[in-house]
Homo-oligomer: A and B are copies of this chain.
């Protein structure tokens, strides 16, 4: 697991492909135009935010900040990168620009951001970037890229956790279907942040210290022909005191016993011998961690009895099998059948705990299928989720934007015929106001120089664009949202970048403190985001000032 900070210095981005060139060409053409106009050092403030929560929900998890800070802390164009920019811009561009680029870094940029892992809402700036306009624009594309998918997939993970419930184990199995290699690595990181327990992705486990999980595949099962293939059949007992010389025969004896059993007899006939060979072999390799994929041939008539025979043989030697994985078919039915079988064995062979054998389900799971399983009733203990989770199948992009709100101390507004696309001008501060029950009530955005809201003091919260929507609030607690993560040349305290585990804990705690009606899957109540009365007035003053007066013809 890599340290975030390395002897005081912040390490570069996890993916070495994240360089100052990972940006849109127009950031460089604009930088040139700014430079040519002598405007490049004008101090600009940009807000990074999104306009709509994803997945039809009313909340989002903010993620990706650490990678942004890693980029900013190491932002410096190399000579070969500058040469490439020179080749890419028109040959008429003046040499002085490239000298200027040589000196560009983020030492004069200030980053204020919401803490990573926080539950966040539309329109509230997640990151406020202040600095020389041309440098801040170069940052636009990578910052948006690093936050967009991170926040989307963390939110997706949180939603899957919500529907699965706290007690289930959630495993991220998405690497093979992810959108490219670090789509997979990023998914593992941010799904863990959003509340997953483990990943199958070894590289991500190593990079981020995420617990790893995995057993075997269908190919492993079908690679065996019969138990005769197993050459080394011996297995020491768990306590090391005795040696079972023929574990293969022990398994076969249990299979026969199961078939003859009073309770189980007649439930199955001949099980698949290539399957039992694979299970036996896997148990010999991992006697303490035996978890078998039971659906290669037929779950109920082959996979489960074969698993149980091996598990019972392991039990004879003092080992406890972990459980099974189901990867196809009717998971509700199969898990219930498996549980019945396990409980019957517990009873028949007086084998305590056998009934509690873990059942993992995978196969194209998503929020809807887990919800459907819950409604049908199931006996699944752990869900392995891949494609839908990591590609955010239900909505594969979050619309994070990056808008200029102030330059040279002049507020700027971006108008649009679509009101939801109008930006909130000015350098701002943001607060979360909490009510009596401890729930967040409303976020409020105020001008940077306005007095902060105070606990116990009444404040008017206005909808930024709808004049009739407003409410007085007396917060019990006030939390400032934007904190300084990169102070630039200011003497502000720089917030530490916490380890992933702490961000995950924060995220889970944040989700738990939300009022339940904001979180429900069906028709959730929107959480309110407001502006101060003063900022409201200013937005609308500026709007009228900038918008052309139409003429009806």
Interface residues of A (CB under 8 A from B): 13-19, 21-30, 32-34, 36-39, 42, 44, 46, 81, 84-85, 88, 90, 92-93, 133, 137, 140-142, 144-146, 148-150, 153, 173, 175-186, 200-203, 205-206, 212-220, 222-225, 229-232, 269-270, 272, 281-282, 284-289, 296-298, 301-302, 328-329, 387, 391-393, 396-400, 402-404, 407, 410, 412-418, 421, 546-548
State A192–B254 Cα separation when bound (angstroms): 59
Q: Is the CB of B175 within 8 A of A141?
A: yes
Q: Is the CB of B24 within 8 A of A201?
A: yes
Asked if A404 meets B186 with Cβ closer than 8 Å, knowing A37-B229, A38-B231, the reply is no
State A222–B133 Cα separation when bound (angstroms): 12
Give me 10 A-to-B residue pairs in the complex whose CB atoms sit less than 8 angstroms apart, sorted by A's number: A22-B201, A25-B202, A32-B285, A37-B231, A88-B205, A93-B285, A140-B219, A183-B183, A297-B546, A302-B548
**With a CB–CB cut-off of 8 A, which chain B residues contact A392?**
179, 396
Q: Is the CB of A296 within 8 A of B202?
A: no
Q: Which of A24, A28, A270, A297 has the most CB of B within 10 A?
A: A24
Q: Is the CB of A44 within 8 A of B223?
A: yes
Chain B's closest residue to A201 (CB) is B24
Chain B's closest residue to A386 (CB) is B397
Q: How far is the CB of A229 from chain B (nearest CB, A)?
A: 7
Q: Which of B33, B146, B217, B407 contacts A282 (CB 8 A)?
A: B33
Q: Is the CB of A17 within 8 A of B182?
A: yes
Asked if A145 meets B213 with Cβ closer than 8 Å, knowing A25-B205, A33-B282, the reply is no
Asked if A24 meets B219 with Cβ closer than 8 Å, knowing A92-B287, A183-B180, A288-B90, the reply is no
Q: Which of B29, B38, B142, B421 contacts A214 (CB 8 A)?
A: B29
Q: How far is the CB of A393 from chain B (nearest CB, A)?
A: 5
**With a CB–CB cut-off of 8 A, which chain B residues contact A19?**
203
**With a CB–CB cut-off of 8 A, which chain B residues contact A185?**
17, 22, 180
Q: Is the CB of B149 within 8 A of A26?
A: no
Q: Is the CB of B21 within 8 A of A415?
A: no
Q: Which of B182, B212, B403 contacts A181 (CB 8 A)?
A: B182
State A33–B290 Cα separation when bound (angstroms): 11
Chain B's closest residue to A207 (CB) is B17
**With a CB–CB cut-off of 8 A, which chain B residues contact A181?**
13, 15, 17-18, 22, 142, 145-146, 182
Asked if A149 meets B23 with Cβ closer than 8 Å, knowing A28-B202, A37-B230, A397-B393, the reply is no
Chain B's closest residue to A88 (CB) is B212
Q: Is the CB of B17 within 8 A of A297?
A: no
State A409–B521 Cα separation when bound (angstroms): 51
Q: How far is the CB of A109 from chain B (nearest CB, A)?
A: 15
State A434–B25 Cα separation when bound (angstroms): 43
**With a CB–CB cut-off of 8 A, which chain B residues contact A214?**
24-29
State A251–B39 Cα separation when bound (angstroms): 20
Q: Is the CB of A203 within 8 A of B285?
A: no
Q: Is the CB of A391 within 8 A of B206?
A: no
Q: Is the CB of A24 within 8 A of B223?
A: no
Q: Is the CB of B148 within 8 A of A176?
A: yes
State A412–B81 Cα separation when bound (angstroms): 51
**With a CB–CB cut-off of 8 A, which chain B residues contact A416?**
328
Q: How far is the CB of A48 from chain B (nearest CB, A)?
A: 11
**With a CB–CB cut-off of 8 A, which chain B residues contact A206?**
21, 81, 84
State A282–B176 Cα separation when bound (angstroms): 45
**With a CB–CB cut-off of 8 A, which chain B residues contact A88?**
202, 205, 212
Q: Is the CB of A548 within 8 A of B288?
A: no
Asked if A149 meets B202 with Cβ closer than 8 Å, knowing A90-B286, A286-B90, A296-B414, the reply is no
Q: Is the CB of A179 within 8 A of B175?
A: no
Chain B's closest residue to A29 (CB) is B214
Q: How far is the CB of A54 from chain B (nearest CB, A)?
A: 12
Q: How far is the CB of A313 from chain B (nearest CB, A)?
A: 16
Asked if A37 meets B281 with Cβ closer than 8 Å, knowing A15-B17, A145-B175, A214-B29, the reply is yes
Q: Is the CB of B179 within 8 A of A183?
A: yes
Q: Is the CB of A387 within 8 A of B393?
A: no
**With a CB–CB cut-off of 8 A, which chain B residues contact A24?**
173, 175-176, 200-202, 214
Q: Which of B13, B23, B547, B548 contacts A175 (CB 8 A)?
A: B23
Q: How far is the CB of A423 from chain B (nearest CB, A)?
A: 9
State A206–B82 Cα separation when bound (angstroms): 11
**With a CB–CB cut-off of 8 A, which chain B residues contact A182?**
15, 17, 180-183
**With a CB–CB cut-off of 8 A, which chain B residues contact A44?**
219, 223
Q: Is the CB of A21 within 8 A of B202?
A: yes
